Chain A
Amino acid sequence: MKLFERLWAWAVRTFARLTKWAEALGNFWAKYWLAIAGTFFVVGSTVLKWIESPFTSDLKGLQIPIFHPPTLLPHMTLLSFGVIGILILVAGLFVSRYSLIVAGATAAILLTIFALVPAQIAFIQPTMLQRLTEEDQTMPLENSFNKKDLPQNYGAAEIIPKRMTLYSAWGRFVAAWSFLRLGWYCFGLGAALIAVYALSKLRGQRGVITLACLGLPLAALAIVALPALVGQLYFSRGALAKAEGRNEDAIANFRTSMRWDTWNALSIDLYGTIGELQKLANISYDSPERHISTALAMEKLSNYEQAVFELDLAARDGGRVAIAARREAARAHILLGLALYNANGYGGAISNWQQALVEDPDQVYELPYLARAYYNVGNFEASIDTVIKLVPYVRDHNQSLADAYSLAADSSAKIGRFDDARDYFNLSLAVDPIENYWALTGLAGE
């Protein structure tokens, strides 16, 4: 009985103590909840997905470098938006103990970082947007291939951006924004909460802080977007000149547009247009642009071999045009491979896809095709190796990953490695358990 009473007394004391702590905690929360929630969102956002890649790995806040485009296999980097954001936040909150205006400045800088991310993708590092849009355009082909050539896996589909308008600066900004995901929004929300916190504490200086929080991001955006806007202006002039039949003017304007806007400088279509205008104006014989123009025409006629030949000629002189041409050549190889594959020419398809990887190692979208083609020709070891190569790239996309594992399982089963096959099928089901008929029936031994 005594023990019970003592226990009861202890429980009451503990409860009282806990409620006291909870009350203190509650008061602290009520006083600083904006700053706490803001900090939580900013810090938490850095480990969430900021940029969704339709095919390759998604990018977290800690993996988006500020000064160069991220690699295909992203990794944490110190000079990333996420790390810089956290450092600024920590420093700002620390100094704000002495001067609350610093909290406002911190919020303004965080909001600027937030606003700069889509601008970074659209204007500063257009190769990143190019990769994202290329992946986006590749997905219908991937889906069509999966539907036709692979056993069924109807796992939950991902939502990927559609119908992007890429020929205007505004359209590219919107396109870049469409790839941004929860992490980026949380970062913005956190920054906004900190701004509200600063505003609520600094009643006398609300105007300055509001101005900083709105003006700084807008100014940064304007500075970053300015070259692209100038490029857009020249591009529009070029298009107008072209429509009026002033070919030389059009070419000159397009070239100026390329100087201002890196996106245009890497655009194979714009090079093709210039080449076509050169051809009609009978100028610049043997220019890279004319070769590209011919190559694009060949591609449209499904004459991929000739297209690749022309693109090789275009890439001779180096420079940005060569980068664009080589990228297009790799794409032509992939398309030729797919065309051969559809015509049951698996050997030719494999050699073209291998060549595409040599031309542009970033064209990893073809790895699922390659793995399946190896499987079809009976080269099961190569198929498994290709899947192993593919898995790190698609690790954030359940359906692609599940299909890759299922393919490896099928290949393993073909060469008698049933334990491996079972493991792969289990991995497939683990990552995509919804309507994954391929893995389900594979495990059941059908």
Chain B
Amino acid sequence: METLTSTAPVTRRSHVVGWSIGVVSLCGLLLGCYILSTYFQPIPHQYQLDFGNAKWIQPANGRPIAYFRTDVYLNAAPEQAWLEVSAMDNFKAIVNSHSVGSQDSVKTRVAEIVDIKKRLKAGTNVIAISTSRASYPGAAQILVRGFIKQQGGKITEFVSDEHWRVATETGIVPGSEDWTSSLVQDQSWPSAVLSPANQSHVDIDYVDLNPLIVQLEPGGAWIQSENASSEATFSTTIQADRAREETWVQVAGSGNLDLLVNGQLITSSIDYGSDTTREPHLLTQSSESSSNQVKGARAEERATRPSKSSGSPFEKTTLEAYDVSFWIRKGANSIIATVRADQHPASFFLSGFFVGNDGGVREFSTNSSWKAIDKAGAPATSDHSAIEIGADGVAPWGYLPQELARPIDRSNLFTYAKYVGVVAGVTAGVIGLWLLVAGLVANKRGETFRRLMARDALFHTPVIIGLLLLFLPNYDVRFPLEWSFQPRFIFAGFVLLFGVRLFHLFPGGPIRAQRKPWWEINRDTLRAKAPYIFLVLIVSLGFALRFHNFSQMSFDHDEMGLVTKSKGIYTLGIPYTVYAGGVRWITTYELVPYPLALAGLFGYSEFTMRFPSLIMGTLCIALIALIGRRLFSSWRIGLIAAFIYACMPLDIRWAQNCFYPQQCQFMALLTTLLFYEAIRHRPFHTKYLTAAAISFCLTYISWEGSAFLLPSLFVGLFVVRWGEWWWLKQLHLYRCIFLIGAVVVAQFCSRTIAGESYLQVGSGLSNLTGPSLFFLTPAYQPLFYINKLLFSENHVPFTIMALIGLPFCWSQSGYRYLFSMLVSLWVCHTNFLAALAPRYCYYYQPFVIMTGVAATVLLYDRVLALARRESYSPVGWICAHTAGIGVILFLFLQSNEWLFRDYELSDTGNTPGLMTRMGMYRYNYRDADHYVKDHLQPGDVVLPGIPHVYAFYAGQPGDYFLDTLLASKVPYNQLLSEPRFVDKFGGLPVVRNLAELKEITNRAPRTWIIFAPYASFEKLTAANVLEYLNQNAKIVYETYRAKVFLIEGHSETQPTRGGMRTAQMAE
């Protein structure tokens, strides 16, 4: 029996030069990138806010959702006012019912500083901040500092402390007023309490706007030309202490404004590619009302940010801040601004400052020393001093609102050509230096040039690893953007590059076999046992990580669907639910409820139901190690991949969830291993083949979307057995295919029969019956799984390593097998499955890790082989080890959250995917349902968001199911006294429109509506129903992505009991 073997790669002598060039080029490219980013690209400055004496505050009851308020009384309108806010995960800051800022980034203490002077008024002002945590555990927390300078000079400062009021649901407000309204009396609200976060150091996110922009009073004066013409060019020169000194300017003009700093166009008034997306309105209508018609965040932004193109230009002028540091030269710097106003005199205002190395600030601004070139009524050459017409705050503009301008767009071909030139130049320089040093040393020491090339190339590897590791903080949300692009790191890189070459003086001769150290007396025995010891340790670690808090979160609706159906196994032996008098057996995930039913023998709880997933998740660790061992004939790849998998948040989270993905992944990995074991023999190993077929069937009935595994296995077979066709004659293969076909057809028949016998309406995934030519449809998204898997957060380096390894590792059958399966699964899911979801790719996610790790280790071996055979230097050998271990360390460190939080690694930025981060709550049905259950009174009606989840947690069914847009599939129940549509799990009657809802709410003394999951509930509910709820319902409880609404009969105008009760409870 012939068997495929995977041998360790060796660097052939003929490839030594190529490998050496590759290593040196990589070093050159990395150094080039650092030099480019440090010296040739403008790096946006980022700042940490100083919150002074402000304290982190939170609600006393420790809820994750909170609404904070405080009042500030002013005698006069402010001339300067700013607000610094930080909160866990997200916040929305509102001043006098106007949104002034918002930030959102999961598991981050987001921060922002905003100018609020235009939102404040004389009298009582309400500062309101809402925050809604997505991370758990922990309470909603905020940190606030504000500063107001009133006209007349009186200064008012406020910070977050125990005097702030906080509510954990907006239902606390009686009547129809919004919680941010100044009419709301918040004295009855509970006081905020100091958060435990005050006792420890917390990392607060950086902000893009220099706080000095709003904290310093804009100096200078509005200036005009001598003739006050409608077009004028203003210019001046400012002195900088050094090149690229941090410099900010704020500018405003009475018309269109063009600004040049040292000949660089900073802002241009050419309206090129005009915005046609603005909602049109008639001339007679106010722009305010029209902008309010546009829904969503965009409209909100417009409402808060005045349009420069409508209404009076005086009133709408804004002081826009630009960071111009990149274009500042040492010595004199010119600033030129041209203002073109249509009907008014061209006026200009500039206020700027330099920030010295010591943090000292030097200000500059527009004044009469500026030159003004007047175009109208004067010769073009006339050049006079500008005329000051008043300081900031002068009529008609008043005190200008300040904001950060959009970043300067510098995208053009010449810029990119320059970038390429810099990187190519540095790379060429590094290569040239390498050749020079190798040549000189070879000449000096009388060694061969080829040997010196290899040795000197190896000396580059510590620099590569150092620069690579320095990349990681750039993607960590706790570091400023592009943190590592600093001259000192480049300097250190070059010092290391030159310093390590001193070892050419002590080459050390050929690397001899090491003598056996004393602790390796039983080396062979230890070697044989060590992998198993490591495996046990890794599996134990993985189990512990998965076990920790694994039942803390509430069931979500997907989990509960399977849990509900699993109960049918005890009676009929199949998973099913009953409604409309009939048994509705499960038509997808058929196998998943069986382990649940088994665990259910010990009672139904989050612990028991998730235990099978926990076990399968842990077993996956061992399977990955085993796959690595079998595919690459080496424990290293398997153990490293298993270790990374064991600690990866995505895999830990799914092992704590009893929906199908974990089981499907386990089965898929098992199939992958068994199939490889079968095909690595000639002829195929029939027992393994049979086992693989059975395992595939189990995978398929865990989730039928995994059917794509079958073609992928065959692609793997083609690639592994390239050019061999003998296996076509192996009859057992066809038997296995027949078995698989039978299972697939049976499952399809079951699905069809189950869907045939009853009438239902609505939309749902069950519309999807099988693969289709999805790539021909408009909904096709070719990049979906690239964004959600291959280039998603901590998968990015694995994908990159897998791609880098492609040309070098293709000769390895194990690598070919995994890589080709990964690619074919990605192609199949992207092109042939007409539904897209991040969880669909979870079952082949370990392939990404394994392929990346395999490529890394195989490359490590190649570099090591190069060192052993060519460098003739123990230092070279150490460098090679440093490189290999460094890359593995790099992969591990970025793959989890223990040291780095590289959330920005994603192709799409800091947008967390499904289950990608530890401690993110999905939907807290449990607390919402418990709340309703605890407050239920006789006669109350409950409309649960997800009826079967409510039935589980409340221990009693709800009354109706709200499905006003038929977003969920609802079957028809003809057996009811009044036949109607019902929900498919609990059999609750469906409320399809506002009339039916009103009929219920008008008759019931109290109606509870559980809005969970909140976002989709809001999206998939009819607009008139939402409007009705907004007007008549109170939010009496809020938690992670869930809200409880209460409608109290006809007593809309009376204070709600829910709100009062909640307030009492909070007190």
A residues at B contact (CB < 8 Å)? 19, 22-23, 26-27, 30, 48-49, 133-134, 137-138, 140-141, 144, 147-148, 152, 154, 156-159, 164-171, 174, 181-182, 185, 225, 229, 232, 236, 239-240, 242-245, 247, 267-270, 272-273, 276, 280-282, 296-297, 300-304, 331, 335-336, 338-340, 342-343, 396-399, 433-437, 440-441, 444, 446
Contacts and interface: CB of A to CB of B under 8 A. Distances in A.
Contact of B338 (A134, A243, A446): A243
B965 A165 contact: no
B458 interface: no
Given A240-B265, A273-B270, A440-B761, A245 B412 contact: no
B231 interface: yes
A22 B728 contact: yes
B775 interface: yes
Interface in B753-797: 761-763, 767, 775-782
Interface in B281-296: 281-283, 285, 287, 290, 293-295
A361 to B, nearest CB: 19
B761 A273 contact: no
Given A165-B409, A243-B259, A440-B762, 4 more contacts: A272-B271, A280-B376, A340-B282, A342-B290
B761 A170 contact: no
Given A138-B276, A244-B260, A435 B965 contact: yes
Contacts of A268: 274
B273 interface: yes
A407 to B, nearest CB: 18
A242 B281 contact: no
A168 B412 contact: yes
Interface residues of B, number: 72
B280 A338 contact: yes
Contact of A276 (B232, B273, B340, B779): B340
Contacts of B259: 243
Given A22-B725, A167-B270, A441-B966, A301 B258 contact: no
A23 B725 CA distance: 6
Nearest to B782: A182
Contacts of B725: 22-23, 26-27
B915 to A, nearest CB: 23
Contacts of A26: 723, 725, 728
B763 A435 contact: yes
B601 interface: no
A154 B967 contact: yes
A245 B781 contact: no
B532 interface: no
Contact of B965 (A148, A152, A281, A296): A152
A40 to B, nearest CB: 14
A436 B763 contact: yes
A159 B294 CA distance: 21
Nearest to A399: B778
Leading 3 A-B pairs by shortest Cβ distance: A245-B233, A243-B258, A156-B779
Contacts of B782: 181-182, 185
B272 A270 contact: yes
B310 A301 contact: yes
Contacts of B230: 280
Contacts of B966: 435, 437, 440-441
Interface string B399-440: 000000000010111001000000000000000000000000
25 contacts: A23-B726, A26-B725, A27-B723, A48-B775, A48-B776, A137-B277, A154-B965, A166-B273, A182-B775, A239-B270, A242-B269, A243-B260, A243-B336, A244-B260, A245-B375, A247-B231, A268-B274, A302-B280, A303-B283, A304-B280, A338-B280, A339-B280, A343-B285, A399-B778, A437-B967
B270 A270 contact: yes
Contacts, number: 195
A331 B1019 contact: no
A232 B412 contact: yes
Given A27-B723, A171-B412, A437-B966, A300 B780 contact: no
Contacts of A166: 272-273
A331 B290 CA distance: 19
A170 B416 contact: yes
A300 B256 CA distance: 14
A141 B265 contact: no
Chain A CB within 10 A, most for which of B342, B376, B778: B778
A269 B965 contact: no
A434 B276 contact: no
B16 to A, nearest CB: 21
Nearest to A338: B280
Contacts of B233: 244-245
A245 B373 contact: yes
B953 to A, nearest CB: 28
Contacts of B723: 26-27, 30
B270 A242 contact: yes
Chain B CB within 10 A, most for which of A156, A174, A336: A156
A301 B283 contact: yes
A140 B295 CA distance: 11
Interface in B664-690: none
B338 A244 contact: yes
A93 to B, nearest CB: 22
Contacts of A22: 725, 728
B1020 A165 contact: no
Contacts of A302: 280-283, 285, 287, 310
Interface in B277-316: 277, 279-283, 285, 287, 290, 293-295, 309-310
B729 interface: yes
Contact of A141 (B232, B277, B779, B1022): B277
B412 A434 contact: no
Contact of B412 (A157, A170, A182): A170
Given A170-B416, A232-B412, A397-B778, A267 B1020 contact: no
B263 interface: yes
Contacts of B295: 144, 147
Interface string B436-459: 000000000000000000000000
A225 B416 CA distance: 15
B268 A242 contact: yes
Given A48-B775, A154-B967, A245-B338, A339 B282 contact: yes
Contacts of B602: none
A169 B967 contact: no
A270 B309 CA distance: 17
B110 to A, nearest CB: 23
Contacts of B283: 301-304
Contacts of A169: 412-413
A398 B779 contact: yes
A48 B831 CA distance: 13
A182 B830 CA distance: 11
Contacts of A244: 233, 260, 336, 338
Contacts of A269: 270-274
B375 A437 contact: no
Contact of A159 (B268, B290, B336, B781): B781
A8 to B, nearest CB: 13
